[in-house]
């Protein structure tokens, strides 16, 4: 009894400090749609869905996790038996099936631990670089100790004839041969039950300070994960007129983080799955999403006493950047979301990174110099290129009959949202022209906003300038609503994501489709008739993060390519596991000097498929991969899906 | 070192002329002249390194307050706006008189301005200000550091740069690209609202000749160049010789 009290008290004392840090954090409104959250709990936690994204580690973890669940009642059973060896559960303690489950799952845990050690000691994958390896070993050994003492204890009970159904527990039964029936076994049985219990309780007190805390935090963390498409960012409302100078502008210190963000930190298991897929880490940048989370966690843990001391302590908190993470780390991220997708406990790295950026940009005005030109352009000319609004229609010069929606005009069936890249970038203009020609050929009733279109604000928002984004979003929504627009087709994956997922927060609810979706539908309806013998050769399609992983659009671009007569080959990393082109998260506007270039890395992967053409569906990807192709002097062509379709559909594709 | 920075509000789009043939300055999109951001940045860096305050002075319509707010958001500590209907259409000389009078109300070691404004680009205001204040001026400055004599100044030339030792106070105009103007933080924008902006009247400025003295009587478009003649083919050489002879060049 005393042992139990001590262990529970110790556990509680340590866990409480974590709880108080959580309580001090900003509340996060993440309890809507309980049904969807519960379903995720079933699949991600009980079903271990994300863990099975990797086969052996998935099996390893599922064995240990399921074993842990099944063996929970055993702890109480052992406690009863520790007091008197004949005490047990009224019903469970006597049935054969429970004895069987115990025996089976304890064995599976042993197998799981064996797999874990094989992975860690023999395979040694790179994803563990920077993780606490000894701590993990200690935890695995403790788990192994807990289940082996359990198996041996059961074996000794079989030897003593206390256990009811020896045949139902073949492993323990087999082990019972180790024990005689005499006095020695009686002592051994006592020693085993107590070592089992002491190990369990010791483990409990160790938990709150270790990465193994995830066994408590993971389930709530998964429950609180966002229900939005992954490309969505939560708004940070800024009202300059009523705000005083102390308003929270993103995350500066630990207490600026939301409860979900803090729970994220306490949930990380250091498994490194995120690090393994991160384009920044893979190309030699300072950023690793795992190290970012660990470093933030360490600072929050270190400052826990200050945080819980209340107002007096909070003034002494150190800024998270550069104390926990360096400035460069924050700017290395392309917001591709690969880390979030991979993380088995639904940690949301991108939200935290953007919150750190928000503070650097809006409070400190501290960011890579070269990105200033983009912000300045967005601020004064309402596009990152700093071009005049009247130049937005320059691309229409070589395309006949483009309707520019004038104030007071009846709305078109579909508004073609050209986007800044599509309007101002010379190469992206070709895609815009192809789309326009295809829509005209299919007889679609569409129009563009022309000079009244503004940047959606995506680059400013991903850069952390929430206020600039908010102003642009409000202005665009006003124009769109004023024009009576109900359906939009966007050619840029970033515009698509912002219009579809983020504008509803600003009063703009439209049906938004990507041009590949619209084109694919037009082909299916027979309104566009590509020549299937168009001879497009072999094409490999590069999934844009903001179209694919962030919004689940994988099929439409591939269908269009197939219709255009292309023989599709896939890159090793495609679909949900596509590798970023390097332009997202406003990285398009920053220099990339460390390590190898992300676009070169991706282009090399595309080239290695042997495809003659790399197809893209976003102007950013197009420009990045085309740059990489040119830099390499490669014969492989980079072209948008729409351009390829135009070439096999239209007599005069132009462009 | 206390620095006064001259900051002008300029239209951001294509400027339009009103019925009085003057540039419409009220109610149109306008911003702090990007050219003035370089001078401001240089001034901010100077005071950050060597102490002192930056005061921004602007003459213009009420909207010029935006240019001042921007400068305050970037880090200037005080704004001065001279706005009077009688100054509408002021020429470069009157502008310089007004600015000199306003600058004279504040303690300063240095006056910083742009080389030329983006809209009027006479490039004469700053040197005129210096003349009225009776102090030295150096144009096209790319770098400035305090020195024993006053300031060590690098002035851009066609070939490179000259180095001057200049007594202070002085007026300098700063070339574009010499420094990287900072992007104001939102904190800065909010704090700017709390900073003082003085609005001296023309009486406060005390000098007499402070009204616009010129009226614009007519504005004509510059004649568009005629299309020119494209000469091609075998006769081209002969035709060119003919044309040159016509133009009395040969
Ligand atoms: C199309 C047009 C035609 C004009 N024609 C004439 C003309 O023929 N004759 C004439 O005398 N004036 C003319 N003006 C008016 C004149 O240009 C400006 O109003 C007057 O201020 C001269 O300044 P500037 O812009 O040439 O200044 P510059 O001397 O080019 O400006 C250099 C720097 O001085 C400072 N500065 C200039 N003006 C101000 C200000 N108002 N407030 C604060 N700082 C300032 C800024 O730092 C600026 O970068 C014309 C204006 C326009 C737009
Ligand atoms: S979003 Fe992409 S670049 Fe950013 S940390 Fe995650 S994996 Fe790395
Ligand atoms: S953040 Fe998630 S994926 Fe990355 S190490 Fe932690 S638990 Fe693993």
DSSP strand pairing (B136-147 vs B150-156) = antiparallel
Residue B181 pLDDT exceeds 70: yes
Residue ranges of the domains in chain A? 31-223, 254-366, 374-522, 524-649
Contact (CB<8Å) A388/B188 = no
For residue A78, give Cα distances in angstroms to A177, A200, A580: 21, 10, 52
pTM equals 0.87
- Measuring CA to CA, which residue among A225, A150, A245, A132 is closest to residue A189? A150
Pocket test for ligand 2, best of A285, A339, A356 (most atoms within 8 A of CB): A339
User: Minimal Cα distance from B194: which residue of A?
Assistant: A245
Closest-approaching ligand to the CA atom of B57 = 1
Q: Which residues contact A187 (CB under 8 A, 6 or more apart)?
A: none
Cα end-to-end distance, chain A, whole Å: 81
Lowest mean pLDDT among A48-57, B139-148, B155-164: A48-57
Residue A381 pLDDT exceeds 80: yes
CA of B188 to the centre of ligand 1 (A): 28
Q: How is chain A split among helix, strand and coil, in percent rounded to 5?
A: 60, 5, 35
Closest-approaching ligand to the CA atom of B99 = 1
- Please check whether residue A491 is in contact with residue A642, taking contact to mean a CB–CB distance below 8 angstroms: yes
Residue A28 pLDDT exceeds 90: no
- Across the interface, of B13, B186, B194, the residue whose CB is closest to A362 is B186
Which residues pair with residue A261 across a beta bridge? none
Please give the DSSP secondary-structure letter assigned to residue B23. B
* pLDDT-based confidence at residue A580 (cuts at 50, 70, 90): very high
- B64-74 vs B34-50: helix crossing angle, rounded to 10: 40
Q: State mean pLDDT over A439-458.
A: 95
Structure tokens at A519: 């084109």
Q: State mean pLDDT over A96-106.
A: 91
- Please check whether residue B124 is in contact with residue B137, taking contact to mean a CB–CB distance below 8 angstroms: no
Lowest mean pLDDT among A5-19, A345-359, A375-389, A464-478: A5-19
- Please tell me which of A6-10, A293-297, B220-224, B243-247 the model is most confident about, judged by mean pLDDT: A293-297
B31 contacts in chain A (CB < 8 Å): 380
Candidates 2.40.50, 1.10.3470, 3.40.50, 3.30.70; CATH matching A524-649: 3.40.50
Candidates 1.10.1060, 3.30.70, 1.10.3470, 1.10.287; CATH matching A254-366: 1.10.1060
More confident residue, A580 or B19: A580
CA distance A640 to A609: 18
Pocket test for ligand 1, best of B122, B123, B173 (most atoms within 8 A of CB): B122
Residue ranges of the domains in chain B? 3-215
Mutate one of A244, A358, A362, A460 to test the B interface: name it (highest B CB count within 10 A).
Answer: A362
Which residue carries 């504040």 as its tokens?
B106
* pLDDT-based confidence at residue A398 (cuts at 50, 70, 90): confident
- Across the interface, of B180, B182, B186, the residue whose CB is closest to A467 is B186
Q: Residue whose CA is closest, atom 7 of ligand 3?
A: A268
**Residue A3: predicted pLDDT:** 78
Closest-approaching ligand to the CA atom of A285 = 2
CA distance A470 to A553: 26
Q: State mean pLDDT over A592-603.
A: 95
**Residue B208: predicted pLDDT:** 64
Q: Which residues contact A124 (CB under 8 A, 6 or more apart)?
A: none
**Residue B23: predicted pLDDT:** 75
CA of A499 to the centre of ligand 3 (A): 30
ipTM score assigned to the predicted complex: 0.73
Candidates 2.60.120.380, 3.40.50.620, 3.40.50.1470, 3.30.1600.10; CATH matching B3-215: 3.40.50.620
| Contact A225 CB / ligand 2 (< 6 Å) | no
Q: Residue whose CA is closest, atom 6 of ligand 3?
A: A268
CA of A273 to the centre of ligand 2 (A): 12
CA distance A241 to A268: 40
Q: State mean pLDDT over A526-536.
A: 82
Please give the DSSP secondary-structure letter assigned to residue A303. T
Report domain A31-223's class: mainly alpha
CA distance A68 to B181: 59
Do A374-522 and A524-649 have matching folds?
Answer: yes
**Mean pLDDT, rounded, of chain A:** 91
- Across the interface, of A363, A381, A388, the residue whose CB is closest to B186 is A363
| Contact A337 CB / ligand 2 (< 6 Å) | yes
- DSSP string across A376-442: HHHHHHSSTT---GGGGGGGGGGSS-PPBPPTTPPPPSEEEE--HHHHH-HHHHHHHHHHHHHHHHT
CA distance B201 to A616: 61
CA distance A290 to A358: 21
CA distance A582 to A453: 26
Cα end-to-end distance, chain B, whole Å: 61
CA distance A182 to A159: 9
- DSSP string across B34-92: HHHHHHHHHHHHHHHHH---EEEEEESSTTHHHHHHHHHHHT-SEEEEE--GGGTT--H
Pocket test for ligand 1, best of B92, B102, B131 (most atoms within 8 A of CB): B92
- Across the interface, of B13, B31, B187, the residue whose CB is closest to A245 is B187
A142: number of CA atoms within 13 Å, CB side?
20
- Measuring CA to CA, which residue among A442, A445, A446, A447 is closest to residue A524? A442
Element (H, E) at A22: helix A2-24
* pLDDT-based confidence at residue A32 (cuts at 50, 70, 90): confident
Structure tokens at B67: 């240019």
Q: Residue whose CA is closest, atom 3 of ligand 2?
A: A333
CA distance A487 to A513: 8
**Residue A654: predicted pLDDT:** 64
| Contact A336 CB / ligand 2 (< 6 Å) | yes
Closest-approaching ligand to the CA atom of B91 = 1
Mutate one of A252, A365, A390, A451 to test the B interface: name it (highest B CB count within 10 A).
Answer: A365
Contact (CB<8Å) B190/A364 = no
- Summarize pLDDT for A148-184 with one digit per residue, the tens: 999 999 999 888 888 878 888 889 888 988 888 778 8
**The domain made up of A374-522 is a member of CATH 3.40.50:** yes
For residue B123, give Cα distances in angstroms to A438, B113, B115, B139, B212: 52, 10, 6, 9, 18
| Contact B95 CB / ligand 1 (< 6 Å) | yes
């Amino acid at each position: 009894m005393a042992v139990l009290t001590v262990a529970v008290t110790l556990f509680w004392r340590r866990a409480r400090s974590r709880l108080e840090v959580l309580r001090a954090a900003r509340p996060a409104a993440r309890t809507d749609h309980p049904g969807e959250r519960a379903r995720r709990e079933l699949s991600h936690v009980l079903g271990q869905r994300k863990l099975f994204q990797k086969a052996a580690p998935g099996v390893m973890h599922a064995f240990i996790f399921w074993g842990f669940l099944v063996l929970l009642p055993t702890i109480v059973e052992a406690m009863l038996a520790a007091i008197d060896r004949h005490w047990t559960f009224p019903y469970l303690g006597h049935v054969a099936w429970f004895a069987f489950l115990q025996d089976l799952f304890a064995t599976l845990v042993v197998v799981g631990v064996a797999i874990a050690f094989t992975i860690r000691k023999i395979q040694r994958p790179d994803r563990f670089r920077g993780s606490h390896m000894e701590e993990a070993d200690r935890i695995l050994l403790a788990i192994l100790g807990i289940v082996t003492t359990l198996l041996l204890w059961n074996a000794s009970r079989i030897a003593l004839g206390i256990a009811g159904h020896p045949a139902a527990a073949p492993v323990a039964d087999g082990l019972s041969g180790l024990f005689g029936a005499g006095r020695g076994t009686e002592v051994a049985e006592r020693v085993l039950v107590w070592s089992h219990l002491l190990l369990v309780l010791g483990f409990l007190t160790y938990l709150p300070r270790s990465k193994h805390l995830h066994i408590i935090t993971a389930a709530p963390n998964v429950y609180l994960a966002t229900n939005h498409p992954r490309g969505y960012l939560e708004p940070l409302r800024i009202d300059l007129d009523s705000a005083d100078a102390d308003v929270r502008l993103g995350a500066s210190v630990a207490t600026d983080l939301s409860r979900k963000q803090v729970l994220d930190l306490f949930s990380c298991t250091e498994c490194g799955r995120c690090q393994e897929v991160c384009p920044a880490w893979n190309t030699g940048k300072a950023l690793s999403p795992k190290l970012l989370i660990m470093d933030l966690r360490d600072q929050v843990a270190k400052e826990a006493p200050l945080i819980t001391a209340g107002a007096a302590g909070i003034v002494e908190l150190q800024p998270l950047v550069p104390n926990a993470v360096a400035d460069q780390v924050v700017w290395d991220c392309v917001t591709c979301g690969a880390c979030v997708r991979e993380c088995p406990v639904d940690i949301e790295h991108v939200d935290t990174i953007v919150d750190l950026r928000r503070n650097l940009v809006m409070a400190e005005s501290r960011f890579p110099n070269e990105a200033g030109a983009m912000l300045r352009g967005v601020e004064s000319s309402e596009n990152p290129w700093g071009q005049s609004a009247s130049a937005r229609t320059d691309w229409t010069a070589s395309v006949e009959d483009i309707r520019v929606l004038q104030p007071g005009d009846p709305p078109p069936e579909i508004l073609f949202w050209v986007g800044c890249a599509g309007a101002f970038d010379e190469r992206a203009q070709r895609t815009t022209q192809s789309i326009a020609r295809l829509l005209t050929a299919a007889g679609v009733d569409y129009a563009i906003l022309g000079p009244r279109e503004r940047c959606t604000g995506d680059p400013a928002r991903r850069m952390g300038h929430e206020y600039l984004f908010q102003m642009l979003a409000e202005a665009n929504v006003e124009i769109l609503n004023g024009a009576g627009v109900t359906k939009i087709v966007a050619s840029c994956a970033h515009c698509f994501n912002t219009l579809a997922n983020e504008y509803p927060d600003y009063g703009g609810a439209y049906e938004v489709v990507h041009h590949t979706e619209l084109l694919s539908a037009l082909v299916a309806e027979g309104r566009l008739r590509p020549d299937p013998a168009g001879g497009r050769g072999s094409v490999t399609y590069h999934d844009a993060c903001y179209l694919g992983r962030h919004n689940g659009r994988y099929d439409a671009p591939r269908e269009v390519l197939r219709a255009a007569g292309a023989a599709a080959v896939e890159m090793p990393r495609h679909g949900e596991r596509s590798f970023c082109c390097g332009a997202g998260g406003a990285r398009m506007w920053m220099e990339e000097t460390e390590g190898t270039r992300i676009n070169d890395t991706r282009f090399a992967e595309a080239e290695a498929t042997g495809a003659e053409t790399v197809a893209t569906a976003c102007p950013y990807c197009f420009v990045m991969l085309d740059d990489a192709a040119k830099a390499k002097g490669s014969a492989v062509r980079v072209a948008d899906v729409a351009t390829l379709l135009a070439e096999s559909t239209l007599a005069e594709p132009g462009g | 070192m206390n620095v006064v920075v001259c900051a002008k509000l300029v239209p951001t789009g294509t400027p339009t002329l009103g019925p009085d043939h003057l540039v419409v300055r009220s109610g149109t999109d306008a911003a702090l002249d990007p050219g003035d951001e370089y001078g401001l940045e240089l001034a901010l860096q100077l005071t950050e390194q060597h102490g002192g305050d930056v005061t921004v002075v602007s003459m213009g319509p009420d909207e010029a307050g935006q240019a001042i707010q921007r400068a305050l958001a970037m880090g200037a500590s005080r704004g001065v706006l001279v706005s009077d209907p009688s100054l509408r259409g002021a020429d470069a000389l009157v502008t310089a008189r007004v600015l000199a009078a306003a600058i004279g109300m504040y303690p300063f070691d240095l006056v910083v301005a742009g080389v030329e404004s983006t809209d009027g680009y006479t490039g004469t205001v700053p040197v005129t200000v210096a003349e009225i204040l009776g102090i030295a001026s150096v144009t096209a400055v790319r770098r400035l550091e305090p020195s024993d004599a006053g300031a060590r100044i690098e002035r851009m030339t066609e070939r490179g740069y000259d180095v001057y030792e200049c007594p202070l106070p002085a007026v300098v105009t700063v070339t574009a690209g010499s420094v990287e103007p900072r992007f104001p933080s939102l904190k800065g924008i909010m704090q700017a609202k709390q900073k003082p902006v003085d609005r001296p009247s023309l009486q406060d400025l005390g000098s007499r000749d402070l009204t616009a003295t010129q009226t614009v009587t007519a504005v004509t478009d510059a004649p568009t160049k005629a299309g020119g003649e494209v000469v091609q083919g075998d006769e081209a050489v002969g035709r060119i010789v003919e044309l040159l002879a016509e133009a009395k060049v040969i």
